[in-house]
Amino acid sequence: MSAPLRLRPLSALPADLARFRRGGAIGLPERRVAASTVSRVRRGGDTAVLADVRRFDRRQATRAELLADRPAIRRAARRCPPELARALEQAHARIRSFHLRQRPRTVRSADARGSIELVPTPLDRVGALVPRGARSYPSTALMTGVPARVAGVRDLVFASPLPANGGLDPALAYALTLVDADALYRAGGAAAVAALAYGTALVERVDKIVGPGNAFTAAAKWLVSADVGVDALQGPSELIVVASSGTSPELLALELLAQAEHGSGAFAALVSDNGTLLRSLGAALVRPAAAAQGGVGRVALYRAADLSSAARATDIAAPEHVLLAGQAAARLAPAIRHAGALFVGERSAVPFGDYVAGSNHSLPTGGTARWASALRVEDYIRWTSRVALRGDLRTLVRAGAAIARHEEMAFHAASLEARR
């Protein structure tokens, strides 16, 4: 981005996005590597995990470093700078307040023949993944841990890569104390997924694995999903901004670059019908881009004939994040049905959702927002039907037995008829 970005027609967006997504969150090479890792961890347990940690994270890692228990987490948390601790507390409070409103309730129907209930029960044990870049991501610990505790999950264990220095980031540790984590397994990627799914000497197997990671993490989650619950197969991060006149090019440039900051795989696009805004934005992107560190994702600008067509194209794309910037764009919010999270108005920057808005930042990617949702309390709940019949059941017996005999289930019919 050393020169102003070239404007592209809106018609180019679907093909550009398809190339970015490359057929989904995981490809065949990632599946092969993940399959090998999962197999090794199932056979070798912590020893196999340790070999991966030494290869990818910390060459001198020891088995003792693989697990941080509650006391170790608390000790590290005490070193969290006070200002950062207060920020994490504020984020935790807002996330918890919003997720408390999501608590499910028993559904009940009753008549003279008895009652039927659909009863929510929290999962017993959950494993939450917290990826690591140059630093740890305490925000992800909050986003995965808060809804688990609100749901009533009994045991909550986290997994995050061991840093090269073998330390435990005080900010991550503080976030873990806020969600009352039981332990931190210090490994990442496919090895961590396999350890959580099948258990090792150091970590008991879980009922469900939640949280983001790289393509190998997603591939491993896909591979173990027959044996353990998983939340989603997240791919690279995505944002589409629909902007109308009157918005600040400088603010929008920062919004796009913030999304691209997620890494070289990220996709950040802006669509507008205002040529002046697009040209100003193309120039504004040059200055902050020079200050960006590390690999940044793709940033693209698209010219639409009108805002309605921009909204239609965005809804079809079903991206992870959508920002509607400007008064005219904000009025299009009802037209966006398919998005992991929708941010309405120029002041509703997407990074608020990453940290302190209170909504969950673990979102569907790769177009899966057509059917998938943000991580929520219900993801930590299973539902059980509870049926208690009584009284005169003759009409139910006749109807049930007639269906059973049509399906050639003679003993089903006989069991019902014995309850006349």
**Catalytic one among 30, 238, 255, 320?**
320
Is the Cβ–Cβ distance between 160 and 184 less than 8 Å?
yes
Burial 64-75 (b: 16+ CB within 10 A, else e): ebbbbeeeebee
Residue positions counted in the chain: 420
DSSP 318: -
Residue pair 263/298 in contact by the 8 Å Cβ criterion: no
Check if the beta carbon of residue 181 is closer than 8 Å to that of residue 206: no
Neighbours of 201 (CB within 10 A): 11
Tell which residue, 124, 134, 193, has the closest CA to residue 158. 193
CA pair distance 179, 106, nearest whole angstrom: 25
Tell me if 312 sits within 8 A of 335, measured CB to CB. Answer: yes
Q: Please, which residues bridge with residue 322 across strands?
A: 240, 342
Catalytic residue, candidates 262, 321, 338, 361: 321
Query: What secondary structure letter does DSSP report for 136?
Result: B
| Residue 321 a catalytic site member | yes
Residues taking part in catalysis: 320-321
